[in-house]
Amino acid sequence: MINRFTKQPIGGSPLRPFRSRVESWKMKIYCVLLLMAGFSPLAAPAQSSNSTAGTSQLAGDSDAWAPTYGVKSAEQIDKEWQDSVARFDGRRNALLKLADEQAHDGPYRPDWETLRNHAIPQWFRDAKFGIFIGWGVYAVPGAVNEWYPHNMYRPGDPAYNDFVQHFGSLDSRGYKDFIPSFQAERFDPQAWVKLFKQAGARYVVPIAEHHDGFAMYDSDLSDWTVVKMGPHRDVLMELSAAIRGAGLHFGLSSHRAEHNYYYGDGRSIRSDVNDPKYASFYGPAHQWLNDPHFNPVNEWTYVSDAWLRDWLARSVELVEKYKPELMYFDGGNGQPAYRASMTEFTAFYDNFAVSHRIDGVITFKDYAMESTAGAKDFERSLRADIDPQPWQTDTSISNLSWGYMEHDQFKTPESLVHQLVDIVSKNGNLLLSIGPRADGTIPDEVQTILLDMGAWLNRNGEAIYGTEPWTISGEGPTQVKTGFATDQEMKAYTSSDFRFTRKGESLYVVSLACPADRIATVHALGLAGEARSKTIREVDLLGSSQKVNWLQTTDALSVKLPADADCKYGFALRVKFASSQETQAQEIGK
C-alpha cells in the first residue's frame, strides 16, 4: 500500500519532508520552519498508534489530542480558540472600526429598510455566466470531495478510510499536515483567465476561504494563509489582476461561517483538532447542531460574539484589500446569530462600493439577507419560472465534488449549456465551479468541457448575454426539477423544448434539442400564442449566413433550418416583429 505523498509503502520508514518532491535549499529551510511551528508534512505513518509524534503536552502526561467532546463545554473550547487568535486583536479591532464607520458613511445604513433599495448592477444582469474556483489544501488528498477535511475525522466515512489507507493514523497527523504539499508550483493565473474567457465566462469568483479555514489570500488575521505557508504567494491578488486585466468582472467567495463547526467531529476521537495548539487553524470546532432539513433558521450551533466579530473583520478585510465587484457567501450566514453581522457587513460593502466606484453585488444563500438586498443563490438548483429579481445558480462541473479529485465524474457540456439556457431564460446567472489541482493546473477534462461551452456561446451568445426574460421562459413537455441539489436529475430535452430571451427589438428562441426533420415548430410564436397577434417580420439563425425559410400561422412559427445549421447542444433563432405600422400596411395590402 503506497502513501500518496511520499510514494513509499505505508508502514515503511518516514522520508525526510519533501526530499522526493522538491530538491532545493528553499524547501529545506521551509521544512525546518514548519517543524518549529509544531507540524510536519504528511509522510509514512508512525510505527505505533501509541506514538506521541505530532502531539503537544498541556501539563505532565496529559494528552492534548484526547477527545474533548462532552469533556469541555462550548464556552471553554471557544475560549481556547479566542486565546489562539488574540494576538490579532489590534488588526481585528481596526477592521471592525472601519466597518462601523463605512456602514454609516454613504447612502446606506445597517438596516434592511435602506439596504433593500440597493440595485443589482447591470453588469451582473448582463454577464449570465461565471466561473467559480474551488481551490485549496483539500486538493492535496484529491479524494472523495471537497468536504474531505470535515469527513476525515468521522470514523467510517469514505474520507476517513481514505486518509487511514493512504496517509496513516489520525493519532499522529491531521489535515494541517497537508499544507506543506499545497505548493501551486504550476499556477499560471494568465493561463487560467485565458481559458475562462474562451469558455465564455464574464465573471470569475475564486473562493477566498473555504470551510477548512485555510486563507487563500494574504490575511492579517491568521498565520494559516497561502502567503505564510504552502505556495508563499498571494494567489488571489495574482488572479484578481489577471481577471481584471482580461476585462472580466472579479468576485470573491467566503465560506468562513461554517468553519465554526467544520472540524467538530474531530473532538469525538483522538485527533489534533482537540489540541489548543492548533485552535487558530481548526477554529472552535463546535458541534454542528443543524436542522434535519438544513434550514439555517432552525440551527442551534454555538456561535460566540467573538466568532462573529472575527467573521465580520475577515469579511471586511477581503473587501478592503481586494475590492471585489461581487461578494458571495456560502451557507451558515443564514443562522439567526449572524443577522446583526450580516446587516453591518452589507451596509459596509454597499457604501464601500459607492465610495470606490464599484458596481457591487452580494450573492447569498438561504436566509442570510433580506431577499431584495442582493442576488439570491440557489445551490445546484433550477427555478420553475421567471423570477423578477436577478438570481444565481452555483453548481459544479463535477458530479462528485466542488474541488479537485482524482477519478472524477463530470457533467457533459451539453447538460451545462442547457442549464445555462434555462437559467438565463428565467432571469438567472450560472456560476460554474471548477477544481484545480494542488500544483495549480486545471485538469484536461475540465478544460475540454469549458472550451466546448465556449464554442457554443461564441456562436449563440447573442441570445444569452445582456438579455432579459420574455413574457414566458419557454415551452415544451420537459419540466425541470427544482430544489437543493437537483440539477443532476434533469431529463433529456426534446426538439419541442425551447427557451426564450429578449434584447432590444429581438426575441431569441433557443432550442434544447435538434429536430430530426430540421423543422423547428414554436407554438408560442403563433398568432394565437404568446406573441399576441404580433406579425413576424424576420427570422435569422445565429451563426449562419444562409437565409432561413419560415412560416407564421395562427398555431405556430415553423422554421426550416438551413443546411449549415449547427445543432450541437441546440441552436438559437433571432426573431423580429413587424411594427404596428408595418402590420397595418400588410393588412391594407391584403
Q: What is the DSSP string of 515-581?
A: -TTSEEEEGGGSTTTTTTTPPEEEEEETT--S--EEEE-SS-EEEEPPTT---TT--EEEEEEPPHH
User: Of 47-51, 188-192, 286-290, 340-344, which gets the smallest average pLDDT?
Assistant: 47-51
Mean pLDDT of 410-421: 97
Sheet containing strand 468-475, strands side by side: 468-475, 498-503, 506-511, 572-577, 536-541
59 pLDDT band (50/70/90 cuts)?
very low
442-457 mean pLDDT? 98
* DSSP-derived 3-state class of residue 403: coil
Beta-bridged to residue 249, according to DSSP, are: 203
Q: Can you point out the beta strands (E) in 79-200? A: 129-133
Q: What is the pLDDT of residue 581?
A: 57
pLDDT tens for each residue of 419-428: 999 999 999 9
Question: Does the pLDDT at position 478 exceed 70?
Answer: yes
What's residue 579's pLDDT? 81
pLDDT at position 292 is 85
Phi, psi of 532 (to 5 degrees): 55, 55
Q: What domains can be seen in the chain, in order of their start residue?
A: 84-139+171-463 (3.20.20.80), 468-589 (2.60.40.1180)
**pLDDT at res. 33:** 46
pLDDT value of residue 582: 61
Share of the chain above pLDDT 70, in %: 88
Q: What is the pLDDT of residue 370?
A: 95
* For residues 508-533, average pLDDT: 94
335 pLDDT higher than 70: yes
Q: What is the dihedral of CA 135, 162, 229, 36, to 10 degrees?
A: 170
Residue 24 makes CB contacts below 8 A (sequence gap 6+) with none
Decide if 576 contacts 505 (C-beta within 8 A): yes
Q: What is the pLDDT of residue 61?
A: 58
Note the pLDDT of residue 43: 47
Residues with Cβ within 8 Å of 158's Cβ and at least 6 positions away in sequence, in order, are 144, 151
**Residue at grid coordinates 451539453:** 414
Instruction: Copy the grid coordinates of residue 436.
Output: 484545480
Residues linked to residue 463 through DSSP beta bridges, in sequence order? none
The Cα–Cα gap between 111 and 343 comes to 6
Rounded average pLDDT over 582-586: 52
| All three cell numbers of 508 | 431569441
- pLDDT band with cut points at 50, 70 and 90 for residue 446: very high
Segment 52-79 mean pLDDT:
78
CA distance 395 to 419: 10
Look at residue 41 in the predicted model and tell me its pLDDT: 57
Task: Write down the pLDDT at residue 580.
Answer: 64
**Comparison of pLDDT for 28 and 237, the residue scoring more:** 237
Sign, CA torsion 10/14/17/20: negative
Query: What is the pLDDT of the chain when averaged over all its residues?
Result: 90
Q: What is the pLDDT of residue 21?
A: 36
**Which pLDDT tens digit goes with each residue over 191-214?**
999 999 999 999 999 999 999 999
Sign of CA dihedral 2, 282, 320, 130: positive
Compare 513 and 53 and report the one with higher pLDDT: 513
- Tens of pLDDT, residues 38-58: 455 564 333 333 333 344 444
Residue 254's H or E segment, with its range, is: strand 249-254
Contacts 24+ apart (CB under 8 A), 192-196: 192/239, 192/242, 192/436, 192/442, 193/239, 193/242, 193/243, 193/245, 193/246, 193/248, 194/246, 195/442, 195/447, 195/450, 195/451, 196/131, 196/243, 196/246, 196/248, 196/450
Least confident of 48-62, 177-191, 295-309: 48-62
Give which of 280, 183, 180 is closest to 222, Cα–Cα: 280
Query: What is the per-residue pLDDT across 9-19, written as a single tens digit (0 to 9) for each?
Result: 333 322 223 32
| Averaged pLDDT, 323-342 | 95
Does the pLDDT value for residue 68 go beyond 50? yes
Cα–Cα dist 57/38, whole Å: 12
- In the chain, the percentage of residues whose pLDDT exceeds 90 is 82
- Read off the amino acid at residue 487: D
Position 430 pLDDT exceeds 60: yes
**Which of 86-90, 454-458, 565-569 is least confident?**
565-569
Taking the mean position of all CA atoms in its chain, how far away is CA 538? 40
pLDDT given at position 485: 79
The answer to whether residue 319 scores a pLDDT higher than 70 is yes
- What angle (nearest 5°) sits at the alpha carbon of residue 587, between those of residues 583 and 590? 140
Burial (CB count within 10 angstroms: exposed 0-12, middle 13-18, buried 19+), residue 26: exposed
Look up residue 180 and give its three cell numbers. 506543506
Mean pLDDT of 320-346: 96
pLDDT over 50 (residue 548): yes
Distances (CA, A) of 351 to 330, 347, 584: 22, 6, 52
Residues 289, 296: Cα–Cα separation, whole Å: 10
